[in-house]
């Protein structure tokens, strides 16, 4: 049986946040249950929530 590479284990916690600095706003997605498991992009480039549906 094939496994789903996008499936999440029950102990994984994925969060999203806007990180504001003096020069820009960054949208950050992170798995807070793992070190170094995050990505970011300019908040202006992130899709609006309705576009994710």
In a domain, 5, yes or no: no
pLDDT band at 47 (very low <50, low <70, confident <90, very high): confident
20-42 pLDDT, tens digit each: 989 999 999 999 988 999 999 99
Contact status, residue 25 vs residue 44, Cβ threshold 8 Å: yes
Which domain range does residue 43 map to?
Answer: 14-52
The arithmetic mean of pLDDT across residues 9-21, rounded, is: 82
Count CA within 13 A, CB hemisphere, residue 34. 14
In a domain, 6, yes or no: no
In a domain, 33, yes or no: yes
Q: How far apart are CA 13 and CA 29, in angstroms?
A: 11
In a domain, 24, yes or no: yes
Q: How many domains does the chain have?
A: 1
Entry pTM: 0.62
In a domain, 3, yes or no: no
């Amino acid at each position: 049986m094939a496994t789903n590479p996008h499936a999440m284990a029950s102990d994984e916690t994925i969060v999203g946040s806007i990180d504001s600095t003096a020069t820009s706003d960054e949208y950050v997605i992170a798995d807070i249950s793992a070190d170094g498991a995050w990505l970011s992009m300019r908040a202006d480039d992130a899709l609006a929530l309705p576009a994710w549906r």
